[in-house]
Every structure is written in C-alpha cells, then in structure tokens.
Amino acid sequence: MRYAHEVDKVRAAEAALLARLPEGTLMQRAAAGLAAVCASLLPRVYGADVVLLVGGGDNGGDALYAGERLARRGARVVAVPAGSRTHPAGLAALLAAGGRLGDAAEIDTADLVIDGLTGIGGGGALREPYAALARRANETPGLVVACDVPSGVDANSGRVEGEAVRADVTVTFGTHKPGLFIDPGAARCGVVELVDIGLGPELPDPDVTVTGPDDVDPPLPGPESDKYRRGVVGIVAGGEQFTGAAVLSTGGAVHGGAGMVRFVSVAPAVAVVRRRWPEAVTTVIEPGDAAGLAAAGRVQAWVVGPGLGTGDAAAALVAAALGTDVPVLVDADGLTVLARHRDLLPGRTAPTVLTPHAGELARLLDADRADIEARRLEHVRRAAAELRATVLLKGSTTLIAAAGRPVRVNPTGTSWLATAGTGDVLSGLIGALLAGGMAALDAAAAGAYLHGMAARLAADGAPLAAGDVIGALPAAFRTLAGT
C-alpha cells in the first residue's frame, strides 16, 4: 500500500525535522534523489542537455541543486527562471558547477527537462510566464521530470485548472501527495518515484492510500466451508424492460466468490438469469413486492438497484433492502431512488455501500457534476460523511471513502471499462465480498481492485464487453496468489 499526505501535514513534518537538522539538509536530500532519478533516465549523463525550469520557491531550489549534481557529472545544464527571483544559493551552486542561465528556447532541444516551477505550494491556474513554460515543456521531444508534483496540478486534490506540465516521471519527496494519484492530475504525473528524505517518523496517519495486491484479502474457503459459510448474497435487479443488468450483477456475484446467489426480481428478469446463471437461486416477485423480497430467504448482504427502474415499485424494494440488518450495496437505479429518499439511510446500523459515478453522486449531493469531476476527493469525502455510508466513486480514478478513514484509491483498470454494464458486474462482485464477511471499506476496495484487474486481463489492449470482465474474474483472483 502506498500512502499519501496532504500539504499541510507534509509542511508540519518538514518543519519538525528541519528543527533537528542543519540548514539545507532536506533540500540536499531531495536534490540528490532527484538527480539520481534523472541520471538513470539518460543514456549517459556526460554531454546530455538538461534544462531546469525554475520557480522562486524551494521547488526551484531542489531543481537547481539537482542540476548542480548533474553538471558536475558532465551534463550541459541550463536554468530557465520563470521570474526575477530564484533560490540564490541553489543558483550559485549551479553556476559554480558549470551550469548557466538561458531562455525558453533551450527547452526545444533538451534531452531532459526538470520542472521546478511551483511544487506542492502551487494552487489554481498557472500564471504567465509559468503557463507558457509549461506549454513549451509539454511540446519538447525530451523527457520531462516533475519535481515533487507537476506544476499546475493541485497536490492535495489532483485538480488541474488551465495549463499543467505533463511529466514522464514525477519525483516526489518524503511521502506521496494525494494529487499524484487522482485524476485529472494523476494523468500528468507519469511514473511516480518516491525519494525518502527522512519524514517518515514525523508523518501522521495518511489522508489517502493506494490499494496494492497485498492489501486485497478476499475471504477464501477452507476445509470447513459450505455455501452458507462462504456467504449468501441477495441481488434485487432488473425489471420488465431491463434484464441485462440482472444478468451482469448476478454474474459478478457468482464469479466473485459467493457461496450462493439469491436473485429476486420480476418474472422476465428471473427468466434470463435462470438461463444464464443456473447456479443462482431465484425468486419471482411482483413489482414493488417488499414482502416477497423479505420472504426470499436469508442472505448475508443485499445488492439492490441495477436495472431496477426508478418509480414507486423500485423505491419500495430499495427501502425494503435498506430496512434489513445486513450490509446493503446500492447501485445504478437504486441511487437515483435514494437521491429522492435520503431519509432511508440515517436509521441504518448495518453497513451501506454506495457505488455512484459522478452524475449519480451529483444527484445524491445536489451538486454540480463538473465540480465533482474536478474535485473528486473532496466530494467523495463529503458523501461518505453526509450519507453515513462507504462511497465508491467510479471514474478514471476510482475513490473509496468512509468517514474518519483514509480515502482509498484504486490503481487497476483500463479505459476500456467505460462501457455499459461493467458497473453492474462490480456491484455483484462487491456484494459477494460483503456477504463473505469483509468490512464495507475493504470489500469495496477489494472489489474495485479485482474488477479493474479483470478488465485489464480481458481487454489486453482491445475493446471489451461487461461479460468479458465476469469471465476474467477468476484470473484476477489468481493474480493475488501470484499464479
């Protein structure tokens, strides 16, 4: 698992460490790490053309001292200041090592450009001449290495307003920053390399974590297992018109490790599920028959919403599921219902998992979709707190939040997942993990990880359909065991 801390915590940790170290020690540690990564990216350092884009703060100082180290190894290093102010000691060190000052035209022929314009202190859109330097860096044929965080990317949120450097590699210091992992900023970072500068003992609990394979621990059957001990998940999905979501969410549960899947819906949806998934135990109910849902049999978790519709009948079934004392996952149409009936959530004592995309979350929070896309971390935290639920916000970066816990970022997936029905598969998969006994936050994070891994395996660089993700789930589980 990778950990990320917001800027105020990084600053506090730096201050605590600086109080015990000689002046300049942290900057030299950062510069040494930055220079080492840059050297490893070049075919050879001697004779390489390196350009430093230098702002007026400590980020510019890091770049200048790194440039000094590269110059002493024979690189031709040019510093391009973004303004009249630069780090004086860093510039003096660079010039003493044989580096020189230059202008923006040097960027065009550089083998490597180091972005030291703004760093973690930057916020909002880049102003000129910073924006012009960022644009020019994005057009260079050479490699671009960002110092701590690409300029123009908000270190806390990943928000990008206007121009931003698009790095091939980002070298970050002390700890990761949340914006390195959250789109749209994450897309500007390239490969992220962490340089240890000694902050570890000073850092508090992280604000964001990135799930790794060692963090995904789905329930596994043992010698004493039977279908009931492995977990029975109930799925309420599909309707008279929309039956595909019923098939896909059931498939996600069947291949997600559930001991049994109980599928409850109206006759047309039950008919297609029986044909596709004979493993599922099915119950036919009339539209909105809450009593029929309750009578379907015992489950350890419910999944409600995919393809269910958004009328009064659907609302009755969503209310019935949320009225139980077992974990409930609400997705798709169920979220639209919930946006009109938020009173269904406050009285629950059992875990609730909500899996919206940005549009659905906008309805749940009465917010603007574009603002949610721009401030994903802020809104997923708000949703978890206001709705008293574990919230999985789908998108190019999937975020999972629960009140009082670090937000989890899912690193797996592929852009081919942006196709109809894949969210239904995810809901069934997470439902199976909930029924197997996983805590809500863990189940949501594990489900997102496995779902994204299955999509990568299924797509292999080509288009995929939701059913392909179901078929690849066993292989995704096997990746956790390294087989």
Residue where a domain stops, chosen among 161, 186, 210 = 210
- Do 223 and 205 lie in one domain? The reply is no
Residue 432 has pLDDT above 80, yes or no: yes
Residue where a domain stops, chosen among 184, 210, 236 = 210
Cα 390 from Cα 350, distance rounded (Å): 11
- Do 369 and 232 lie in one domain? The reply is yes
pLDDT of residue 242: 86
b/e string for 144-153 if b means 16 or more Cβ within 10 A? bbbbbbbbbb
Q: What is the CATH classification number for the domain harbouring 119?
A: 3.40.50.10260
Q: What is the CATH classification number for the domain harbouring 276?
A: 3.40.1190.20
- Do 228 and 273 lie in one domain? The reply is yes
Mean pLDDT of 346-364: 95
Chain segment 409-425, per-residue pLDDT in tens: 999 999 999 999 999 99
Residue 281, number of CB atoms within 10 A of its CB: 15
Could you give phi then psi for residue 9, rounded to 5 degrees?
Answer: -75, -35
- Do 20 and 83 lie in one domain? The reply is yes
Residue 175 has pLDDT above 60, yes or no: yes
- Do 217 and 206 lie in one domain? The reply is no
Q: Would you state the torsion angle of the CA atoms of residues 89, 50, 154, 364, taken in this order, to the nearest 10 degrees?
A: -170
Q: pLDDT confidence of 219, banded at 50, 70, 90?
A: confident
- Do 364 and 421 lie in one domain? The reply is yes
Chain segment 290-317, per-residue pLDDT in tens: 999 999 999 999 999 999 999 999 999 9
Q: pLDDT confidence of 173, banded at 50, 70, 90?
A: very high
Could you give phi then psi for residue 228, rounded to 5 degrees?
Answer: -75, -40
Number of folded domains in the chain?
2
- Do 129 and 150 lie in one domain? The reply is yes
List the binding residues for AMP. 394-398, 423
Residue where a domain stops, chosen among 210, 239, 256 = 210
pLDDT of residue 374: 87
Domain residues for the domain of 337 are 213-480
- Do 387 and 435 lie in one domain? The reply is yes
- Do 327 and 233 lie in one domain? The reply is yes
Mean pLDDT of 134-142: 97
Mean pLDDT of 348-364: 96
Residue 347 has pLDDT above 90, yes or no: no
pLDDT of residue 315: 97
- Do 185 and 234 lie in one domain? The reply is no
List the binding residues for K(+). 59, 115, 151
Are 388 and 348 in contact, with CB atoms under 8 Å apart? yes
In Å, how far are 55, 104, 168 from 136, measured between CA atoms? Answer: 15, 8, 15
Could you give phi then psi for residue 41, rounded to 5 degrees?
Answer: -85, -20
What's the gap between Cα 115 and its chain centre? 24
Mean pLDDT of 266-277: 97
Angle at 480 between CA 477 and CA 481, to 5 degrees: 100
List the binding residues for (6S)-NADPHX. 58-62, 119-125, 130, 148, 245, 307, 357, 424
List the binding residues. 58-62, 115, 119-125, 130, 148, 151, 245, 307, 357, 394-398, 423-424
- Do 148 and 229 lie in one domain? The reply is no
Cα 135 from Cα 130, distance rounded (Å): 9
Cα 477 from Cα 328, distance rounded (Å): 23
Chain segment 361-379, per-residue pLDDT in tens: 999 999 999 999 989 999 9
On the question of a cis peptide bond just before residue 184, with omega within 30 degrees of 0, the verdict is yes
In Å, how far are 34, 421, 456 from 134, measured between CA atoms? Answer: 19, 39, 32
Mean pLDDT of 246-263: 96
- Do 152 and 273 lie in one domain? The reply is no
